């Protein structure tokens, strides 16, 4: 029986699963560390150890959709889990990192509700904004939050100019009052939010998550993916022709590349080919292109 040397050791157990189990494993979340993710996570980690002051450093992470922004902040949050500290009198919950989905409503009320939901706090959506604000601030302070991450912050652009100013001022107040760092995460359009006020622009450092280039780093990424695919045979994804095709169809977008490889690996298991073939990449790559056109 093969020892599946082309698969990273920690993923070889998947080969003991049946075809259905191997296919299901393709859809599990995976994390691949590469230079840009390391840079961003190191930056976020450094914010955790900064001494508190009224004006903490804030970050805006931007990049096109499906390029891995949410995966980065999820990995960072996973590395900084909630803990409970026991002392003689009571137990104190510590929630260093809070990740909230920026509300589609793009307003102050929705922001507070999104924060409170991360604490599993009882709330009434009909409560006054002042009450929701008080409740959110109390929990952020009591749980010693250090970083508040606002995913999909570009949703704020759906609001009126007045709403945008109100919410950005609320965020500024939260950062100043609690002395915490704010991290916005969104599409490239999110940078427009900061342009409305020089004060906001000066408070945020913009970090861009670019698309991949067809270079050595991209081939290293393909190798990392191949080491996780539960296929019986090596696919040689880093070969010149396969790497070129995968780059062309994914357009350097990490999420699209992952989707394409899932579709190719699924076919390889279902057909018994047990490796990603060139024709398979072309077939599913064209389907990916067509789906992009439909979404426009």
Same-domain check for residues 119 and 146:
yes
Chain segment 194-217, per-residue pLDDT in tens: 887 778 888 899 999 999 999 999
| 73-112 burial code (b ≥16 CB/10 A, e <16) | bebbbeebeeeeeeeeeeeeeebbbbbbbbbeebbbbbbb
In 10 A of CB 5, how many CB atoms? 9
By residue count, the chain amounts to 296
Number of domains in the chain: 2
CA distance 194 to 178: 21
- The confidence band for 122, taking pLDDT boundaries of 50, 70 and 90, is confident
pLDDT of residue 24: 97
Least confident segment among 84-98, 112-126, 179-193: 84-98
Are the beta carbons of 239 and 273 closer than 8 angstroms?
no
Is the pLDDT reported for residue 295 higher than 70? no
pLDDT of residue 296: 61
Chain segment 236-255, per-residue pLDDT in tens: 999 999 999 999 999 999 99
Mean pLDDT value across residues 126-149: 96
More confident: 91 or 272: 272
Hey, is 128 helix, strand or coil? coil
Q: Is residue 216 part of a domain?
A: no
More confident: 192 or 264: 264
SS (H, E, C) 180-235: CEEEEEECHHHHHHHCCCHHHHHHEEEEECCCCCCCHHHHHHHHHHHCCCCCCCCC
- What does residue 156 show for φ and ψ, rounded to 5 degrees? -60, -25
CB neighbour class for 63 (10 Å; exposed up to 12, middle 13-18, buried from 19): buried
pLDDT of residue 195: 82
Q: Is residue 218 part of a domain?
A: no
Hey, is 18 helix, strand or coil? coil
Same-domain check for residues 41 and 21:
no
**End-of-domain residue from the set 139, 173, 208:** 208
Same-domain check for residues 21 and 44:
no
Same-domain check for residues 203 and 242:
no
Q: What angle do CA 219, 221, 225 make, to 5 degrees?
A: 115
Same-domain check for residues 19 and 82:
no
What is the extent of the structural domain holding 266? 9-30+228-291
pLDDT of residue 1: 46
CB neighbour class for 12 (10 Å; exposed up to 12, middle 13-18, buried from 19): middle
């Amino acid at each position: 029986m093969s020892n599946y040397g082309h698969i990273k050791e920690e993923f070889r157990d998947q080969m003991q699963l049946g075809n259905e189990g191997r296919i299901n494993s393709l859809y599990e979340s995976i994390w691949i560390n590469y230079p840009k993710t390391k840079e961003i996570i190191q930056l976020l980690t450094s914010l955790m150890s900064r001494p508190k002051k009224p004006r903490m450093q804030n970050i805006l992470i931007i990049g096109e959709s499906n390029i891995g922004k949410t995966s980065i902040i999820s990995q960072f949050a996973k590395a900084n889990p909630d803990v409970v500290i026991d002392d003689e009198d009571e137990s104190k919950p510590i929630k260093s990192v809070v990740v909230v989905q920026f509300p589609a409503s793009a307003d102050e009320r929705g922001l507070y509700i999104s924060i409170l939901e991360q604490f599993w706090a009882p709330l009434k959506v009909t409560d006054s904004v002042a009450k929701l604000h008080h409740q959110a601030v109390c929990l952020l302070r009591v749980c010693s939050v250090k970083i508040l991450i606002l995913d999909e912050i570009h949703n704020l652009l759906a609001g009126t100019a007045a709403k945008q100013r109100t919410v950005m001022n609320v965020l500024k107040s939260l950062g100043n009052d609690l002395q915490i760092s704010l991290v916005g995460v969104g599409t490239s359009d999110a940078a427009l939010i900061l342009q409305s006020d020089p004060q906001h622009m000066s408070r945020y450092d913009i970090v861009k998550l670019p698309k991949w280039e067809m270079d050595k780093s991209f081939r290293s990424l393909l190798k990392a993916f191949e080491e996780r695919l539960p296929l019986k045979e090596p696919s040689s994804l880093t070969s010149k022709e396969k790497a070129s095709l995968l780059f062309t169809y994914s357009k350097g977008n990490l999420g699209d590349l992952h989707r394409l490889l899932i579709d190719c690996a699924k076919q390889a298991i279902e057909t018994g080919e047990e490796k990603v073939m060139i024709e398979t990449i072309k077939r599913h790559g064209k389907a990916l292109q067509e789906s992009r056109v439909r979404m426009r």
